[in-house]
């Protein structure tokens, strides 16, 4: 493989080493430098695959300075790969400042597809995946957590959070308080690893299961919550929502809702509200 001069964004496995891609291995072998979140951690992964490329550490505290060094390498026609401890760099991981500075300096940034805990967990959750909002980690303090969840309470999209095992019970309690005990949620733990588990049900029920089982409070966790459902939107048939979506591309939402209501024999207000909820 002939490598174009660029900063390569390279996802690494989130647990199962077999999830590395052939292209990731080729790029990591061929670049001049691998920028890692933690060189010791990534050193183990790279040596597992027999990769001996030089490494440097890049983290939140030195990212801007490191960006200058990396831009100098690109100016010298040397390519660099960015990896994080696991999964896709920049997704709740360092790299944003680096990528924006490299782009601003006029160099190519080439992304490779690969593992990401949020997307992997969502794909098997059984929750709606047509629209979702990735929210990263919830705040550590209860007040911040409840405020953040309150702001998301009426969001109709599936909500995705990363969570650490020692905070999972607190976060589930906050979800019960702020989103409601009956909110449908899915907790995906240790995805792609030996003890992979998906717990699903109403928030109070998942909380009860996690509270009594210490094993559920271990490992890495993605928490997903069904989006807000109103009675009206729950009753809307998909075909009416499709009509509304098509009409609203050409007409103001009010008019589109009135026509869709007429076509499908529904209440125009319900369609109008649903249109607002889904951002039409």
Sign of CA dihedral 135, 137, 142, 143: negative
Q: 39 with 55: CB under 8 angstroms? A: yes
* Closer by beta carbon to ligand SAM, 192 or else 243: 192
Cβ-closest position to ligand SAM: 87
Out of 63, 135, 163, 184, the only residue in the binding site for ligand SAM (CB under 6 A) is 163
Minimum CB separation of residue 241 from ligand SAM in Å reads: 31
232 touching ligand SAM, by CB under 6 A? no
User: Would you give the binding string for ligand SAM spanning residues 60-89, x where CB under 6 A is met?
Assistant: ------------------------x-xxx-
174 touching ligand SAM, by CB under 6 A? no
Q: What is the largest CA-CA distance in the chain?
A: 66
14 touching ligand SAM, by CB under 6 A? yes
99 touching ligand SAM, by CB under 6 A? no
CA–CA gap between residue 272 and residue 64 (Å, rounded): 46
* Closer by beta carbon to ligand SAM, 118 or else 260: 118
Out of 193, 204, 218, 264, the only residue in the binding site for ligand SAM (CB under 6 A) is 193
CA–CA gap between residue 108 and residue 210 (Å, rounded): 45
Q: 17 with 40: CB under 8 angstroms? A: no
Out of 72, 78, 164, 269, the only residue in the binding site for ligand SAM (CB under 6 A) is 164
Pick the closest to residue 82 from 9, 33, 6 (CA basis). 9
Residues in the chain: 280
List of residues 6+ apart from 127 with CB closer than 8 A? 158, 184, 186, 224, 225, 226
Out of 9, 28, 35, 117, the only residue in the binding site for ligand SAM (CB under 6 A) is 117
162 touching ligand SAM, by CB under 6 A? yes
Residue 126 gets the label, from left (phi > 0), alpha (psi -120 to 50) or beta, of left
Helices (H), the chain: 22-30, 39-48, 63-75, 96-104, 117-123, 142-152, 168-179, 203-212, 231-235, 238-248, 253-264, 268-277
Residue 132: strand pairing partners: 158
32 touching ligand SAM, by CB under 6 A? no
171 touching ligand SAM, by CB under 6 A? no
* Closer by beta carbon to ligand SAM, 59 or else 255: 59
Q: 87 with 119: CB under 8 angstroms? A: no
Minimum CB separation of residue 191 from ligand SAM in Å reads: 3
Minimum CB separation of residue 268 from ligand SAM in Å reads: 42
175 touching ligand SAM, by CB under 6 A? no
* Closer by beta carbon to ligand SAM, 26 or else 190: 190
Pick the closest to residue 278 from 241, 250, 252, 231 (CA basis). 241
Interface residue list for ligand SAM (CB under 6 A): 14-15, 84, 86-88, 91-93, 116-118, 162-164, 188, 190-193, 220-222
């Amino acid at each position: 493989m002939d490598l174009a001069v660029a900063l390569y964004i390279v996802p690494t496995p989130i647990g199962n080493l077999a999830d590395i891609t052939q292209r990731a291995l080729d790029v990591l072998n061929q670049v001049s430098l691998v920028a890692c979140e933690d060189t010791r951690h990534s050193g183990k992964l790279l040596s597992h695959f027999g990769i001996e490329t030089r490494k440097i550490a890049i983290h939140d505290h030195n990212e801007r300075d490191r960006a200058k060094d990396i831009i100098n390498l690109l100016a010298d026609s040397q390519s660099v790969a960015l990896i994080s401890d696991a999964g896709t760099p920049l997704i709740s991981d360092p790299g944003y400042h680096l990528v924006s500075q490299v782009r601003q300096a006029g160099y190519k940034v080439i992304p490779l597809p690969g593992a990401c805990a949020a997307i992997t967990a969502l794909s098997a959750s059984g929750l709606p995946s047509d629209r979702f909002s990735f929210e990263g980690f919830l705040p550590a303090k209860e007040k911040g957590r409840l405020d953040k969840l309150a702001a998301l309470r009426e969001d109709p999209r599936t909500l995705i959070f990363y969570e650490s095992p020692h905070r999972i019970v607190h976060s589930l309690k906050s979800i019960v308080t702020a989103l409601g005990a009956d909110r449908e949620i899915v907790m995906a733990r240790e995805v792609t690893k030996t003890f992979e588990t998906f717990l699903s049900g109403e928030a109070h029920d998942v909380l009860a299961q996690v509270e009594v089982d210490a094993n559920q409070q271990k490992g890495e966790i993605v928490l997903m919550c069904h989006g807000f459902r109103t009675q009206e939107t729950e009753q809307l048939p998909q075909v009416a929502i499709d009509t509304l979506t098509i009409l609203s591309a050409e007409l103001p939402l009010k008019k589109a809702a009135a026509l869709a209501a007429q076509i499908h024999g529904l209440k125009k207000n319900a369609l109008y509200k649903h249109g607002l909820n889904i951002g039409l």
